[in-house]
Amino acid sequence: MKIINLSENNSVLNHYIKEIRSVEIQKDSMRFRRNMERIGEIMAYEISKTMEYKHEDVQTPLGISPTEVIAEDIVISTILRAGLPFHTGFLSYFDRAENAFVSAYRKYKDALKFDIYIEYIASPSLDGKTLIITDPMLATGGSMELAYGALLTKGKPANIHVATVIASQQAIDYVAGHFPEANTTVWAAAIDPELNSHSYIIPGLGDAGDLAFGEKL
């Protein structure tokens, strides 16, 4: 399994990561959503470099131009609701991709203990396709594992890309132990060192869903 931390190499991506973390810039929810989209676009571009391509000729007004196009059938999936802007960034680049959606949420037993539940799934067939699972915050890895298990009811993908904006090292280790070794790549824009007692990523950025769409009851 490959683990790729895109922030290890300096690029404009790091500027967007800084902005989504900033308590001042976070006050602008529209900018927060757009920065999530931008990070999704950059990550989609990086993932596209690893895909298989096929040759096609295209007719221009003046002749024939040879080109290489993606040969893989792509399904972009996201975990609702926080993943929607991140997902949109991927869909802007992989604009012919199919889409899948999973609702996963924490149900707290008390202030610190919780279970994770899957409530809803909508997905095309995944058989033989490239599955990109997007979730902006990979805290424990539990939601990602349950979402993946739910998606497997729709078929067996040929390739799996787990895409996140900010992950904890604990979640990276968890995913590495619970996803197929041979055909999974984990992509993170940043990897943070720890979780707090509420299983929030430290330093993280807070609740991505609330920052994008407003606080929930």
For the segment 15-39, the average pLDDT, to the nearest whole number, is 97
For the segment 183-202, the average pLDDT, to the nearest whole number, is 95
pLDDT at 93 over 90: yes
pLDDT at 111 over 90: no
Residue range 2-52+70-213 forms a domain whose CATH class is alpha beta
Distances from the Cα of 6 to the Cαs of 3, 15, 42, 163, 190, in angstroms?
Answer: 10, 12, 10, 11, 7
pLDDT at 115 over 90: no
Helix (H) or strand (E) holding 143: helix 142-151
* Residue 65 bridge partners (DSSP): 58
For the segment 63-75, the average pLDDT, to the nearest whole number, is 98
pLDDT for 77 equals 97
Return the number of other C-beta atoms located less than 10 Å from residue 67's C-beta.
10
pLDDT for 108 equals 56
